[in-house]
Amino acid sequence: MSGPFDDLTRLPVAGRQHETGPVRSHRPQYVSLLPPCNNACPAGENIQAWLAHVQAGRFEQAWQVIMQTNPLPAVHGRVCYHPCESQCNRTHLDGSVSIHAVERFLGDLAIRNDWMPEIPDMTGGRRVLVIGAGPSGLSAAYHLKRQGHEVEIRDAGPVAGGMMNFGIPAYRLPRDILRAEIRRIERLGVRITLNHRVSDLQAEKVSGQFDAVFVAVGAHLSRRVGIPARDAGRILDAVSFLRDVAQGDPPKLGRRVAIYGGGNTAMDAARVALRLGHEPLIVYRRDRAHMPAHDFEADEVLEEGIQIHWLRSINSIEGASMKIELMELDADGRAHGTGRYETLQADDLILALGQDSDSAFLKQIEGIQFQEDGTVIVSEHMMTGHAGIFSGGDMVPSERTVTTAVGHGRKAAQNIDAWLRGTTPASPKKPQLASFEKLRLWYFTTAEQRPQPRRETGERIGGFEEVVKGLNESQSQFEAKRCFSCGNCFHCDGCLAACPEDAILRDPAGSGYQIQFDRCTGCRICVDQCPCHAMEMTAEPTSGPAAPDSSTRTGSEGSR
């Protein structure tokens, strides 16, 4: 392959000296590096491993690998903002692997085929109470059950799912998909008690004979702002608005509705209002480059014809008129008023200025400390200042996404399990990152990402049917095969074919290779041709026990 990447592909090789001579100074070694997609996943998925299974058509095995870390793949394939893809090395060639779309394919396939995750046979479990049936609580309960514990989730809401159910519109996350993945967790033996608000945590812990507690209440409390208003229309918060719509009881609003805010919740509120027959507009005090909403969220809002008034702040409201101050940004991106004003017309106002978790019920518990914003302070093991009470998700300082919350649940479960068993959680050393400059792009051919089908704009705004559709089996396999397998051998036979001394042999006991060091001269040709950087040169041992006369590579499908 030739083209604009020629120079880049030669960079890793240029200027290297072969370590040959009368005595070999360096020897080749197979390595397992950390793929950037794995490194970027807040849920801790071994993405490269399950992509390898998809490539080979082993779909259930791929799904089982996901389920070792994430119990909600069909949900994540729809709502995760896929930071794995922004770090994918393939972005430097022709676009990232569509990891979220392949995960969605596997998640939907599992629901259709009623697959159940493989659960280790664990003994010595205890009783754990989880407060909150959102993504973090569900994840913690799932992993605690996998570790052999008896788990009950208690939630104040009428249905499980938390903000996935009440904050994410159905056009992004169909409710039958969410319910199916929650039911699977229940079928494993996790008990979910609904319409149960916990006000006295210590009393519930004692009465239920629970040995540990994980608190993961979602951010359901909307932040308010003081806007002078006289004879104004209705002012409500975005979380309540989205919750009411999700429960089938949308509020009665006027024709023209303003949404104040620039986050993902503001984008969702505007798109929901449009589907209810209103004429929404968004007012945001900074510009698009500084808005917290993800780019594709803003793109979809604009595609649907919703206007965003950038660099605008609501000064006051009188009747259906809003006095808007024009803003400007300083060098640090902070918005400041200019003293110039304009008027916008809106019958009602929806505030989407961020959310907080209701942590007040924890303040009576000795030892638990809080940040100024009300989030709970936890240790590196996710335990609060009170022994046996852990916390995660929206309740602790972090990015508030479904994927981050699921990762918190898994990490909390690992630490709760270790605390209950009197052990220390394993902290394996992270492998070196398989960065882009380590790859040999000459090996790979251009293969652009397969786009997911989408409903036409005119169709989508008429209801709450899902906007983005999934990939089929062949498209999902195509996407999986675009993976570079960064840092991990995928058995291309390149090293075997390139060795001039026939020092590399196929391993008869596995699917990898053996290096016969009694034949190897250290010429490093095998290393320089490896497309995914699964080989490196290491210094020849000069002291200590005799070095082995062979090195075996059996293959690795990803590394964490």
pLDDT tens, 23-34?
A: 788 999 999 999
Residue 400 pLDDT: 87
Task: Tell me the CATH number at 524.
Answer: 3.30.70.20
> Which residue among 314, 332, 353 closes a domain?
353
Given phi > 0 = left and psi -120 to 50 = alpha, else beta, which region is 231? left
Residue 372 pLDDT: 83
Residue range of the domain that includes 131: 127-220+357-421
Verify that 363 and 269 share a domain, yes or no. Answer: no
Chain-centroid distance, C-alpha 432: 21
Verify that 504 and 533 share a domain, yes or no. Answer: yes
| 108 part of a folded domain | yes
Residue 230 pLDDT: 66
Verify that 216 and 232 share a domain, yes or no. Answer: no
| 206 part of a folded domain | yes
Tally of CA atoms within 13 A in the half-sphere of 236 that contains its CB: 18
Residue 549 pLDDT: 55
3 state SS of 153: strand
Read off the pTM: 0.90
Give the position of tokens 């209801």: 463
Which two three-digit tokens encode residue 106? 């596997």
Verify that 468 and 496 share a domain, yes or no. Answer: no
| 440 part of a folded domain | no
Verify that 282 and 340 share a domain, yes or no. Answer: yes
What domain count does the chain have? 4
Task: Tell me the CATH number at 461.
Answer: 1.10.1060.10
Closest CA to 408 of 423, 396, 392: 392
Verify that 509 and 454 share a domain, yes or no. Answer: no
Return the amino acid letter for 6.
Answer: D
Verify that 493 and 461 share a domain, yes or no. Answer: no
Task: Tell me the CATH number at 377.
Answer: 3.50.50.60
Closest CA to 164 of 409, 451, 507: 409
Q: Are the C-beta atoms of residues 181 and 190 closer than 8 Å to each other?
A: no
| 438 part of a folded domain | no
Q: Are the C-beta atoms of residues 514 and 504 closer than 8 Å to each other?
A: yes
| 122 part of a folded domain | no
Verify that 323 and 406 share a domain, yes or no. Answer: no
Verify that 361 and 349 share a domain, yes or no. Answer: no
Give the position of tokens 């994410």: 168
Verify that 62 and 171 share a domain, yes or no. Answer: no
Say how far apart CA 217 and CA 386 lie, in whole Å: 17
For residues 1-40, b (16+ Cβ closer than 10 Å) or e, as one string? eeeebeebbeebeeeeeebeeeeeebbbebbbbbbbbbbe
| 27 part of a folded domain | yes
3-state helix, strand, coil in the chain (%, to 5): 35, 20, 50
Q: Length of the chain in residues, anyone?
A: 560
Q: Are the C-beta atoms of residues 33 and 80 closer than 8 Å to each other?
A: no
Which two three-digit tokens encode residue 121? 């046979």
Verify that 153 and 200 share a domain, yes or no. Answer: yes
Chain-centroid distance, C-alpha 115: 22
Verify that 138 and 97 share a domain, yes or no. Answer: no
Tally of CA atoms within 13 A in the half-sphere of 395 that contains its CB: 33
CA torsion angle 175 176 182 184 (round to 10): -170
| 434 part of a folded domain | no
| 60 part of a folded domain | yes
| Start-to-end Cα distance in the chain | 31
> Which residue among 353, 378, 409 closes a domain?
353
pLDDT digits (tens, 9 = 90+) for 38-56: 999 999 999 999 999 999 9
Residue 227 pLDDT: 82
Collect the ranges in the chain with pLDDT lower than 50: 1-16, 546, 554-556, 560
Q: What is the DSSP letter of 439?
A: S
Say how far apart CA 461 and CA 453 lie, in whole Å: 16
